Amino acid sequence: MQDFRKFVKGPLGVTLLVVFTVPFIASGFYGYFTSSGSSDSLATVEGSAISSSAVSQRVQMMREQVRRQSPNVDPDMIEQFISPAMVLNSMVNNALLAEFAAGADMYVSEQQAGTIINQVPAFKGDDGKFDAALFEQFTRNQGMTPKQWVGDLRRDMVMAQVKNGFELTAFSLERELQEERRLGEQTRDITWLVKPVSDLVDQQTVTDEAVAAYYEQNADDFMIPERFRLAYLMLDPAAYRDDVTVTDEQVQEEYAARVAALETVAQQDQRRMAAHVMVSVGDNRSEAEAQQRIADAQAKLDAGASFADVAAEYSDDPVSARDGGKLGWLRKGDLPESLDQAVFALEPGQVSGVLSSDSGLHLVKLLEIEDREIPSLDDMREAIVTDLKQRNTDIRMNEDLAVLEELAFEHPDLQQPAESLGLEVQRTDWFSASAPKGVATLPGVLDAMMQPEIREDGLNSTAIELPGSRFLVFRIAETQAAELRPLADVRGAIVAALKREQALAELDQMMEQALAATADGAGLDSLAEQWGSAIESAADVRRQSSEPSIELVRNAFDVARVDAGDGGAIQVSRLANGDLAAFRVTAITDGGAEPLAAPQQAMALAELTRTQGQRSVRQTVAFLRDSFDVEINEARLKAQMEDAQ
């Protein structure tokens, strides 16, 4: 059982889990899809483009999230793991699954999304109820409007429907589990040798003519992309707060308004404790008899008897009669109308006259009114001052925003708007569209920058709302056209590439010779002598082992049983890194020989079922990639990968 769990949770299982999971954690990707092709698109899915700027923004966002959550992780590792290629793959998968969900008429309503939102603790105020202001602040900090955020949540929920549709309908049989154990827990003995490409690289020589020819033939690989510098003005609430003052008179006025509102709410939501004496009218008691009984009860009260004693003696409500007639805490509308009006008209200690309801005749006594304490001015002062400062800040921000938008539209640069508002024109460093820097990484900036009126005509942008309630207006201050890097700057890289090409070509020849030699009966000893490599062996290698290497282990487990054993065929192959390898599987031992106890069997079947469901989703994504129109701009993606490093 332990071996089985290691198999499904080993490196291969983890890799598959990542591939499977990524499509479902990409909330916020949907807005990056456009209805038609884009001049900087990295991919199109059924005609919807995914732009390089969108991928770049998402790469930066995801890297920053990981840095915040895991500050001790090596930044280089983060950049290698969260690459444009990985993010683009996730976005393409999302688009495909969205198309699949649409074709299957899967749908989540705004009401269903609203139910989820109402349950999020971060969106609830101190009273435990949904706070629209907190929700709006959260969404704006994400660079989105509440409507956009809800839309993405609905699409995420549809994605969950797709996922659950496969995972929750999967099942496994005991014979499938046994076969899975046989293969998953299987071990193999391997003997191998490797000829590293690095052994041959240093032996190669490269001429100046070859370098020049390579440089000319691959000029596109050595281009410095078009670069930009932005000039911009930023309206930031933080810059206003220190200048905003709040007077004591304003605090007093706001406190009075809040007290009035709290009193209104308290009155509307007030609870009252009441008790009653109920005399029923029915089969065993006429109306006249009931009137007489309630009159006797009232007479007892007038004579000084306690309400609790009278209720115990006269009330036909056995539950409340045992507790002095108490009805508990009541809000308006909890009782029949006649009783309700009496309860909320009486003062504590008062007893009503005879009241009538469908259940009979009543005497009602108000016992207590719940005391809702109104906070004092001192208790509320800090919150009031903060809110008033924010309100005044918003007013000034909105006034300045209107001026900024008007002046940015009227003037060809940002100097006049800056002088009018007392702002400083700031500039970014040089950057390319595929590797933005500074404010260019913020949501919406790159998309706006690519608009013809800004990129080609040199106009100022409109005001872009940013996370944190900030606003940005920018223009392209400087542009550097794409240019070819000087040969001197890239000569070292070209020499290394040519040496590797020559070394790989030499390994190709060695591989052909090795295949011919092994076909004639040559053994690993003979290859080791020719390659100058040492023979190594490992016993009981498992499918999920990373030694001697994940790739070599995978190749060894691809060998059919008929080709294994001491006399089995020698396999010669090239590894992904270019190395040449030769190996033989000398023994195969199947797993699953030890039977599982009933609880273990049940757990293993459940684990296998979960894995089957995940496999179904991956297979569906692969099928959709083959069935739908998906195009990847490999050249542009390669350039973006290089810029992102």
Listed in sequence order, the residues at least 6 apart from 256 whose beta carbon sits closer than 8 Å to its beta carbon are: none
For 495, the enclosing helix (H) or strand (E) is: helix 487-519
What angle, rounded to 10 degrees, do the helices at 52-69 and 84-103 form?
A: 110
pLDDT band for position 466 (cuts 50, 70, 90): confident
Share of the chain above pLDDT 70, in %: 92
Whether the CB-CB separation of 87 and 43 falls below 8 Å is answered with: no
Task: Pull the structure tokens for residue 577.
Answer: 């890194």
DSSP string covering 146-211, please?
HHHHHHHHHHHHHHHHHHHHHHTT----HHHHHHHHHHHT-EEEEEEEEE-THHHHTT----HHHH
Tell me which DSSP letter residue 326 carries. Answer: E
Kindly report, residue by residue over 138-197, the tens digit of the pLDDT: 887 766 778 888 888 888 888 888 888 888 888 888 888 888 888 888 899 999 999 999
User: Phi, psi (5° rounding) for residue 364?
Assistant: -120, 135
Kindly report, residue by residue over 584-598, the tens digit of the pLDDT: 999 998 888 788 888
pLDDT at 78 over 90: no
Question: How many angstroms separate the Cα of 461 from the Cα of each of 226, 468, 494?
Answer: 20, 19, 42
Whether the CB-CB separation of 289 and 279 falls below 8 Å is answered with: no
Least confident interval from 60-74, 228-242, 334-348, 584-598: 60-74
Question: How many angstroms separate the Cα of 251 from the Cα of each of 247, 381, 394?
Answer: 6, 7, 17
> For residue 3, what pLDDT is reported?
41
Whether the CB-CB separation of 362 and 278 falls below 8 Å is answered with: yes
| Candidate ranges 43-47, 181-185, 578-582, 611-615; pick with highest mean pLDDT | 578-582
Share of the chain above pLDDT 90, in %: 35
**CA proximity to 67, closest of 54, 57, 56, 76:** 76
**CA proximity to 83, closest of 55, 110, 104:** 55
> For residue 579, what pLDDT is reported?
93
Read off the pLDDT of each residue in 613-623 and give the average, rounded to a whole number: 88
Read off the pLDDT of each residue in 430-444 and give the average, rounded to a whole number: 88
Distance of CA 256 to the CA centre of its chain: 43
Phi-psi region of 498 (alpha: psi -120 to 50; beta: other; left: phi over 0): alpha
Single pTM value for the model: 0.50
pLDDT at 1 over 50: no
